[in-house]
Amino acid sequence: MRFVLASHNAHKVAEFDQIVASAVSGVSVTGYDGPEPVESGSTFVENAFIKARAAAEHTGLASLADDSGLCVDALSGMPGIFSSRWSGEGATDLRNVELLLAQLADVPDAYRSAQFRCVIAVVVPHTSDAPAREFSVEGVWAGRISRAPLGSSGFGYDPIFIPEGYEVSAAELEPATKNALSHRARAIAELAKVLGSA
């Protein structure tokens, strides 16, 4: 089955392709160059469906979209859906990381727990053979926030996220290890279960 991945983020497309190839047999994923809808939802699920529905409508193909972010317990789950633009207009990975570390400066190590969350929405348009179908899956990667950036691999908040069971940041992990552990990998594993039973 062929899916369009509703993302213009080159990092995400590359990471997604690597994980899908090893997790879902017989499923291919292609990039998407159509218009990006406004992500007006208040949850990862809502935003993922907004993107997947837009891609399905634009291409006429079965579409996947993920919405993901970092949820910090000491910040009541923030930045959450605002992860990519946490530092405001013109946000960059560096500015987002610096702001988050500043906001957690006085938080003791024991209270710096966090999770990367990923929701994948799937929208399959109706065909002459089958009705339209929509569903979503979620993956969660638990860890904690370091006091300073560590490592140079990865992107986003990877340099300050210490995965549960590790003493190094996500940016210090080998790409294959990170891809096997990540919130996206966990969500794709759930997706594989659903597609495998379809």
Which residue in the list 66, 67, 93, 129 is annotated as catalytic? 67
CA distances from 7 to 21, 50, 68, 139, 177 (A): 17, 12, 12, 18, 23
- The yes-or-no answer on residue 93 being catalytic is no
Q: Which residues contact 16 (CB under 8 A, 6 or more apart)?
A: 5, 7, 29, 66, 184, 188
Q: Contact 163/170 with Cβ under 8 angstroms? A: yes
Catalytic residues: 67
